[in-house]
Structure 1
Amino acid sequence: MSQVQTLDIMLPHYGDTALMQAAVRSVLDQTDKDWRLTVVDDGREEGVPEWFSSLGDSRVRYMRNERNLGITGNFRKCVDLVESTHFTMLGSDDLLLPTYVETIRAAVEAEPDAAIYQPGVEVIDENGNPSTSLGDEVKRRLYAPKNPDGARLVLSGEPLAANLLGGNWLYFPSICWRADAVKPVGFREDLSVIQDLAMIIELIKRGEKLVVDPALAFRYRRHSGSLSSAEAVTGARFSEAVRFFNEVADDLDRHGWPKAARAARRHLSMRLHALTMLPGALRHRRSDAVRRLLGYALTRSE
């Protein structure tokens, strides 16, 4: 495989129509025009099908689910619909910078054997302004690999798995994936907010590589209305995380990766994240969530 075919950009949509339209326009504005956008609408907002019809672009296909599939179900459907060698799962509130497809194509051509391609990401807020959160700073300063010379990095194996299980510094909607690696793995139906990390760890176990390209190509929107933020305030996402980390730790022990298994059992960054969610739970007067968050953050790791 020497080059990427037409890049499939999959957009599983549910939520704010205006933000979704901005995401679509960011695809239309690409400098490299060799892409195909597939929007799978899991909602029922009025006027959305008509808006897509008005675009008049044969590279854009729109479909609306007959019934609501939920976030993971819609992700799985998007993967099933991928036709090209590589694809991106764009968030419906995120934005591609104009050079995204161009950047990804260059990374794939340089490192064709990888399965995961992470470009440079700028975090923005609800209004599209650059934003810095404690979580993003921790990702950047403590967990993301250092690359002072600005070259692409190729990472793999147990060191990468241990690194990501200690603190996941990837931005899932910005990643480009090699389809033939992802399709046999897919997204787990029993996970709703950590399903991306679960799939990535499985890919790494199978010997796949991650390419980190420092070229800024994506704008990731972080706001309080996201599913992960809402579940964090209640503490629900951490119940899922505990289950996942315990399962994957046992699996990695069987796989012969003890360092990665220890990182999974400790999951220090997720514990710190739970502590950062305490003020929100207190503001919402959710005493049940406060107890869950404290319990998760302070439970002794094995």
Structure 2
Amino acid sequence: MTIDIMMPFYGDPAQFRRAVESVVAQSDPDWRLVVVDDNYPDTSPGDWLVGLGDARISYVRNEANLGVAGNFSKCLELVRSDYFLLMGCDDILEPAYVGRMGSAILEYPTASYFQPGVTVIGSDGNPTTPLPDRVKRWARPRRASTSILSGESLASSLLRGNWTYFPSICWRADVVRQYGFVEDFEVVLDLALQLEIIRGGGSLVVLPDPLFRYRRHAGSVSSWSAKDGSRFAEERAFFATARKLMDEAGWHHAARVARFHMSSRLNAATKLPAALRHWNTDGIRALTRHIVGY
């Protein structure tokens, strides 16, 4: 079973090479890698990739920068296999990812998407456990073995604290095409997609196997936007929409979780001391508004 590994590229060339090398090193060779370069100013990473001469690897360079959601949608258009992942260009696959994911797909053929175990690494490549990932670990359902989740309980769990790691997820292509990516969102577009899938009757398989290394560093989109408060403006708009959608589905407990979005507000609270220390008035205003919920 071929798994398409879609890699939107705009970032550090050295980390990009390590990401690609982790794909090439898969113990199961049944994969296809498509790198979609979002008009990165330096063309040498693309030249290096083409120079590998691997027939399983394709390279596409956008004529203009499409942004996060736009490039994700472009990647989705290029998916050919039944299953795919949108891997970060600074993340790393463990060698068993493709093989283990393929066996999970055969075991759960009706599942909509698959979340493997994840090791978080810093900019230096070493394992790390910053606060956001400690929260994710707390929020993740406690399962010693592979399990399948769905319905309001899954929606409530993700709204309480999104414990999934978007770049590590293996998706069923026809399900994602049914909903697509909401271009109004950047930081929470993965959670918005998951809620649509779950509302539509889809299910998530959670694997305990650590198959992916997710890079957490200050230069990421989510970290940067958290600093100036734009992340929380987006999250506030998202949770307001999610609350309405959950109520419409008759999932009133999930709607209450969306209304209070406590983990998001607590995250904003952790950013407030730095904003106060630097007397960032715009940041203080945006963070305070999110924390108190108005």
Once the 2 structures are TM-superposed, how far is the Cα of residue 185 of structure 1 from its aligned partner?
Answer: 0.5
Identity %: 50
In structure 2, C-alpha distance between the alignment counterparts of 1:273 and 1:9, rounded to whole Å = 31
Q: Which of 56, 59, 62 is matched with 1:62 structurally?
A: 59
Q: TM-score normalized by structure 2?
A: 0.97
Distance 1:283 1:88 in 2: 40
Match of 1:40 among 36, 43, 56: 36
2:102 paired with 1:102 = no
Instruction: Say if 1:81 and 1:280 are closer, same or farther in 2 by CA, change over 3 A.
Output: farther
1:270 is the counterpart of 2:267: no
CA distance in 2, matches of 1:219, 1:246: 32
- 1:234 maps to what in 2? 228
1:15 aligns with 2:30: no
Measured after TM superposition, the shift of residue 103 of structure 1 is: 1.5
Partner secondary structure for residue 183 of structure 1: helix
Moved more, 291-300 or 18-27: 291-300
CA distance in 2, matches of 1:279, 1:202: 35
TM-fit CA distance, 1:281:
2.8
Q: Is the 8 A contact 1:103 1:119 kept in 2?
A: no
The root-mean-square deviation of aligned C-alpha atoms, in Å, is 1.1
Determine which of 109, 114, 117 is the counterpart of 1:117.
114
- Partners of 2:57 and 2:275 in 1: CA distance: 41
Does 1:25 pair with 2:33? no
The 2-side partners of 1:123 and 1:16 are apart by 18
* Distance in 2 separating the partners of 1:284 and 1:87: 43
Kindly indicate whether the alpha-carbon contact (under 8 Å) linking 1:233 and 1:278 is maintained by their aligned counterparts in 2: no
The alignment partner of 1:26 has SS state of helix
Give the 5 Å matches for 1:63-142: 63-141=60-138
Among 2, 6, 12, the alignment partner of 1:6 is: 2
Among candidates 247, 263, 275, match of residue 253 of structure 1: 247
Cα distance in 2 for residues equivalent to 1:59 and 1:284: 49
Write the distance in 1 (CA, Å) between the matches of 2:79 and 2:43. 26
Deviation at 1:30, TM superposition (A): 0.3
Q: Is the 8 A contact 1:7 1:101 kept in 2?
A: yes
Partners of 1:107 and 1:164 lie apart in 2 by 22
1:288 and 2:282 matched: yes
Task: Return the offset for 1:44.
Answer: 2.3
Structure 1: gaps of 5 or more residues: none
Q: 1:151 Cα deviation (Å)? A: 1.3
Instruction: Name the CA distance, whole Å, in 1 between partners of 2:75 and 2:148.
Output: 27
Q: CA separation in 1, counterparts of 2:63 and 2:247?
A: 42
Q: Is the 8 Å Cα contact of residues 120 and 216 (structure 1) preserved in structure 2?
A: yes
C-alpha distance after superposition, 1:156-190 (max 9, x if no partner): 00010011011100000000000011111010011
Give SS of 2:43's match: coil
Query: Which segments of 5 or more consecutive residues in structure 2 lack a partner in the other structure?
Result: none
| 1:192 corresponds to which of 186, 202, 222 | 186
Change beyond 3 A, Cα 1:94–1:284: farther
Q: 2:142 aligns with which of 143, 146, 152?
A: 146
Query: How far 1:279 moved relative to its partner?
Result: 3.5
Secondary structure of residue in 2 paired with 1:184: helix
Query: 1: CA distance between counterparts of 2:3 and 2:47?
Result: 25
TM-score (norm 1): 0.95
Separation in 2, partners of 1:52, 1:94: 16
Distance 1:103 1:281 in 2: 44
Cα shift at 1:276: 1.4
In 1, distance between residues paired with 2:87 and 2:278?
Answer: 31
Cα displacement string for residues 24-60 of structure 1 (whole angstroms, at most 9, x for unaligned residues): 0000000000000000000121312211121010000
Q: CA deviation at 1:283?
A: 5.1
Report the number of matched residues.
293
Secondary structure class of the residue paired with 1:117: strand
Alpha-carbon deviation of 1:284? 4.7
Instruction: State the one-letter code of the partner of 1:117.
Output: F
Aligned to 2:177: 183
Deviation at 1:134, TM superposition (A): 1.4
